Amino acid sequence: MAEAVDIIILALMTVTVIGIVVIRNLLAVVMLSGIYSLLAASIFVAMDAVDVAFTEAAVGAGISTVLFIATLALTTRIEKKPAHKPLLPLFVCIVTGAVLIYSSLDMARYGDPNSPANRHVATYYLENTKKDTGIPNVVTAVLASYRGYDTLGEVTVIFTAGIGVILLLGSWRRGLKTPNPHPEDEA
């Protein structure tokens, strides 16, 4: 049953990706990429990774779709026809895909308790989180406490992205204090 759900979601993701490649209307492409993220979130739920699914649904399906639409309002809605034949990119994609599938044959089975990922530090976290931090959600304990440095780095990345947008497009460049009179028409 679980396999059937996985196969259906993965098939829908494949169809969505083909739609993204074929369609030239960028608004439709943005909508399809939002649907793709939602399907990815469903796969994560099916794999019991609710925290990751939550992030994928909120960031991938939610905010990035809105930011893409806001970007389209600044640029254009129709993709230009490519100047070259797509044969070389197609070749690169097929070779990369083949290498990835070949290497996936060596991957540990999903949920295998003897795989290196599950034998290294994961058991330590699962056994000691309650004792060390008293927090029921191991993911939060790993993210904020055991791996606090990494999360600090991630927040710094988001901080840098925000600073970059302000520096490149911020209102200080225009030297204007008042925003545009009718911004909601485009938003």
Partner 1 sequence: MREYLILRVITKLLFPFILLFGLYVQFHGDFGPGGGFQAGVIFAASFILYSMVFGVQAAQRVLPDGILRGAIAGGLLLYALVGVVDLMLGVNYLDYSPMLTNPKDGQHLGIFLVELGVGITVASVMMTMFFTFATWREE
First CA to last CA across the chain, in angstroms?
43
Out of 10, 18, 21, 73, the only residue in the binding site for partner 1 (CB under 8 A) is 73
Which distant-in-sequence residues (6+ apart) come within 8 Å of 31 by Cβ? 65
Select from 21, 34, 22 the least CA-distant residue to 68.
Answer: 34
Distance CA 8, CA 27 (A): 25
Which x/- pattern, by CB under 8 A, does the window 133-152 give for partner 1? xxxxx-xxx-xxx--xx-xx
- Is 126 an interacting residue with respect to partner 1 (CB under 8 A)? no
Out of 67, 92, 95, 117, the only residue in the binding site for partner 1 (CB under 8 A) is 67
Out of 25, 55, 123, 128, the only residue in the binding site for partner 1 (CB under 8 A) is 55
Q: By the 8 A CB rule, do 168 and 161 touch? A: no
Angle CA 56–61–65, to nearest 5: 135
Residues in touch with partner 1 (CB under 8 A) = 50-51, 53-55, 58-59, 62-63, 66-67, 70-71, 73-74, 132-137, 139-141, 143-145, 148-149, 151-152, 154-156, 158-159, 161-163, 165-166, 169-171, 174, 179-180, 182-184, 186-187
